Chains A and B, each alone.
Chain A
């Protein structure tokens, strides 16, 4: 938790992907506290930070670059202590286990106790946009425009007894789930609306995960939510 006068060094990891877009969104926030954005490419950059955003990009590339820059272990340590938000590829890195990997697998940081499938909807022609109800945002009755690009799918929530509880922040309607992945029955009365695969945003402790890309919209409410709720611990 930050004391009121101290600046919060907020961070975006800048190895590969849409980090500049997150930087732009963070700069748009109007906050009482001072926020500095650091693009992290080394352990030294990371040590300046109080919170981290893992951007969208290509998750195996980000993990490879993190390993080559000697950042993988420092990032795992960081994730144990400080708030981290993963978007899309960043969500994959933040999960505990990943399905749908090919040869060589996928290195993860393991900050959130879920299992996730990469690229859950199939190829790029299945990428889509959909309106979402997101809990806890300012003006929460106004839908948030979700941009899903080769997005991952949450497969299961696996919190261990001592882990902080997992809190679902947004779901997609079950009819939008990828048919190939989910085997959603034709008769939709039989489907469980609480199916983990409908979850597109969730929180565990001070970590946040979104399978879509708030940084590609003009709506900075989720960035505000992360900074206020997860980093500063003050409700929006």
Chain B
């Protein structure tokens, strides 16, 4: 954009989109679970009420929902497997938007496919709504182990590995060089305790998402505050012990099986 007095600026660049995620690092994103929040009027009321960045979910592939959220001034969009997908083959072309997107991933190939579509931020899928951290751990461990593998490969091996994990070669090469994902990577899906949050941070995540893990617990406000502190002091077991005291009952964790109501959410996404 060029202005009358000669000053010029560029809006919605990948730099400012991935940069906002960098500002969220070491933090906790709280997923407020409530059906009425899909109404744009409700979302606008939330944007007006808080100064912190506001993220909202759209269905996988539903680019019109994303257009609507962009125009009402949402700060981040989660193209989320938690909602019923609108498209069973395609994800949203996220490069076409000024608003940044976060997407879930179970492994390195999936993460790099989302980044190639324009995601400026990746999270583990985990298994949302279960209060059980096992799937988030599995996904983060896969991503990190695949990055470690790629980081010692020769260029020829990287070409073959890119084909194997269905990832764009240039992004795989960049990841191997950086020894981490080229965008910020959070944990999500089943984090329920301060120790869960610190576990994900020690496994290499940059921050965490929490939803039902706090809102379905005995004392959500106290638990939320404890998890925020656990993410900052994730390497200090003494502080973790202190913040884990007297925070009420944790959400009861669910066993993750294919027979769960709604099935496995993490399997959605292509």
Which A residues contact B (CB, under 8 angstroms)?
A: 14-21, 41, 56-58, 60-61, 64-65, 68-69, 88-89, 100-102, 118-119, 122-131, 147-150, 172-176, 188, 213, 216
Interface of chain B, main secondary structure: loop
- Interface segment among B69-77, B160-168, B213-221: the answer is B69-77
Q: Is the CB of B229 within 8 A of A65?
A: yes
Across the interface, which residues of A come within 8 angstroms of B54, CB to CB? 123
Across the interface, which residues of A come within 8 angstroms of B13, CB to CB? 128-129
Q: Is the CB of B25 within 8 A of A57?
A: yes
Q: Specify which of B3, B20, B23, B50 lies most central, judged by the most chain A CB atoms within 10 Å of its CB.
A: B23
Q: Is the CB of B27 within 8 A of A102?
A: no
Q: Is the CB of B8 within 8 A of A130?
A: yes
Chain B residues numbered 1-56 whose CB sits less than 8 Å from any CB in chain A: 1, 3-13, 15-17, 19-20, 22-27, 47, 49-54
B228 proximal to A (CB < 8 A): yes
Q: Is the CB of A147 within 8 A of B8?
A: no
With the chains together, A150 CA to B236 CA distance in Å?
A: 31
With the chains together, A149 CA to B54 CA distance in Å?
A: 14
Q: Is the CB of A125 within 8 A of B98?
A: yes
A102: which of B8, B26, B49, B233 is its contact (CB, 8 Å)? B49
B229: which of A68, A131, A188 is its contact (CB, 8 Å)? A68
Q: From B184, which residue of chain A is reached at the shortest CB distance? A: A18
Q: Is the CB of A101 within 8 A of B51?
A: yes
B151 proximal to A (CB < 8 A): no
Across the interface, which residues of B come within 8 angstroms of A176, CB to CB? 3, 7, 9
With the chains together, A99 CA to B233 CA distance in Å?
A: 30
Across the interface, which residues of B come within 8 angstroms of A58, CB to CB? 23-24, 27, 52-53
**Size of chain B's interface in residues, with CB distance under 8 A?**
45
Across the interface, which residues of A come within 8 angstroms of B194, CB to CB? none
Q: Is the CB of B236 within 8 A of A129?
A: no
A-B contact count (CB 8 A): 136
A173: which of B3, B20, B52, B74 is its contact (CB, 8 Å)? B3
B11: which of A125, A147, A213 is its contact (CB, 8 Å)? A125
Q: Is the CB of B22 within 8 A of A21?
A: yes
Across the interface, which residues of A come within 8 angstroms of B50, CB to CB? 102
Q: Is the CB of B228 within 8 A of A61?
A: yes
Q: Is the CB of A88 within 8 A of B23?
A: yes
Q: From A191, which residue of chain B is reached at the shortest CB distance? A: B5
Which B residues contact A (CB, under 8 angstroms)?
A: 1, 3-13, 15-17, 19-20, 22-27, 47, 49-54, 70, 73-76, 98-100, 225, 228-229, 231-233, 236
A188: which of B5, B19, B24 is its contact (CB, 8 Å)? B5
With the chains together, A205 CA to B73 CA distance in Å?
A: 38
Across the interface, which residues of B come within 8 angstroms of A175, CB to CB? 3-7
Q: Is the CB of A17 within 8 A of B25?
A: yes
Q: From A68, which residue of chain B is reached at the shortest CB distance? A: B229
Q: Specify which of A19, A56, A129, A131 lies most central, judged by the most chain B CB atoms within 10 Å of its CB.
A: A129
Q: What's the least CB distance linking A92 to chain B, in Å?
A: 10
With the chains together, A21 CA to B236 CA distance in Å?
A: 22
Q: Is the CB of A147 within 8 A of B236?
A: no
With the chains together, A149 CA to B53 CA distance in Å?
A: 11
Q: Specify which of B13, B19, B74, B229 lies most central, judged by the most chain A CB atoms within 10 Å of its CB.
A: B19
Q: Is the CB of B26 within 8 A of A127?
A: no
Q: Is the CB of B27 within 8 A of A61?
A: yes
With the chains together, A27 CA to B125 CA distance in Å?
A: 34
| Given A102-B49, A175-B4, A56-B23 contact (CB < 8 Å) | yes
With the chains together, A211 CA to B75 CA distance in Å?
A: 19
With the chains together, A106 CA to B25 CA distance in Å?
A: 20
Across the interface, which residues of A come within 8 angstroms of B233, CB to CB? 41, 69
Q: Specify which of A64, A119, A128, A147 lies most central, judged by the most chain B CB atoms within 10 Å of its CB.
A: A128
Across the interface, which residues of B come within 8 angstroms of A18, CB to CB? 22-23, 25
Q: Is the CB of A122 within 8 A of B73?
A: yes
With the chains together, A126 CA to B11 CA distance in Å?
A: 6
Q: Is the CB of B7 within 8 A of A124?
A: no
With the chains together, A172 CA to B5 CA distance in Å?
A: 11
Q: From A126, which residue of chain B is reached at the shortest CB distance? A: B11
Q: Is the CB of A150 within 8 A of B98?
A: no
Across the interface, which residues of B come within 8 angstroms of A126, CB to CB? 11
Q: Is the CB of A128 within 8 A of B10?
A: yes
B5: which of A57, A69, A149, A174 is its contact (CB, 8 Å)? A174
With the chains together, A114 CA to B259 CA distance in Å?
A: 59
With the chains together, A122 CA to B233 CA distance in Å?
A: 31
Top 5 nearest A-B pairs by Cβ distance?
A: A173-B7, A175-B3, A124-B75, A123-B73, A127-B16
